[in-house]
Amino acid sequence: MTAYDTDNIFAKILRGEIPSHRVYEDEATIAFMDVMPQADGHVLVVPKAPSRNLLDADPATLAGLIQVVQTIAQAAQEAFEADGISIMQFNEAAGGQSVFHLHFHVIPRHEGRPLKPHTGTMADHGLLAAQAEKLREALAG
């Protein structure tokens, strides 16, 4: 497998070199809004530990990460009054991956509302900021 590239976009977000609309952080994980959302409230859950994707990740990292995915999914369901939540995760270019640092997509879904294309158009930053705030409020309980 190709080596992990420390200059990928999510590594830069983790180092604070480029901005993101963060909704959650703990010692091992961050979550922030996807800038090309497939639906309102589309969040990315990202481990701080470096790996390209699921295939080379430390199982201990995965065990903690999936618990954060559940927490974010529950908050997203509440914040966006979602009928369902899609969890997506892609591995390597052939598997649909475009940023090569492990991440899970958490996407609120509503009956009869199809997803927008993957890596489609950039969202308005004011809208993303407002959605991040809704999620932080739901996470605060």
Task: Supply the residues annotated as catalytic.
Answer: 103
- Find the shortest distance in angstroms from Cβ 91 to ligand DGP: 9
Residue closer to ligand DGP, measured from CB, 53 or 77: 53
Query: Is 3:12 a contact under the CB 8 Å cutoff?
Result: no
The Cα 70–Cα 87 span in angstroms is: 10
Residue closer to ligand DGP, measured from CB, 67 or 119: 119
Would you say the C-alpha torsion 99, 1, 91, 78 has a positive or negative sign?
negative
CA-closest candidate to residue 36, choices 109, 99, 110, 113:
99
- Find the shortest distance in angstroms from Cβ 59 to ligand DGP: 20
Query: What does DSSP assign to residue 2?
Result: P
- Find the shortest distance in angstroms from Cβ 28 to ligand DGP: 19
Residue closer to ligand DGP, measured from CB, 3 or 141: 3
Binding-site ranges for ligand DGP (CB under 6 A): 9, 20, 32-36, 90, 96-99, 119
The Cα 90–Cα 117 span in angstroms is: 14
- Find the shortest distance in angstroms from Cβ 1 to ligand DGP: 15
- 37, 49, 70, 123 from 116: Cα distances, Å: 8, 30, 23, 12
Residue closer to ligand DGP, measured from CB, 107 or 141: 107
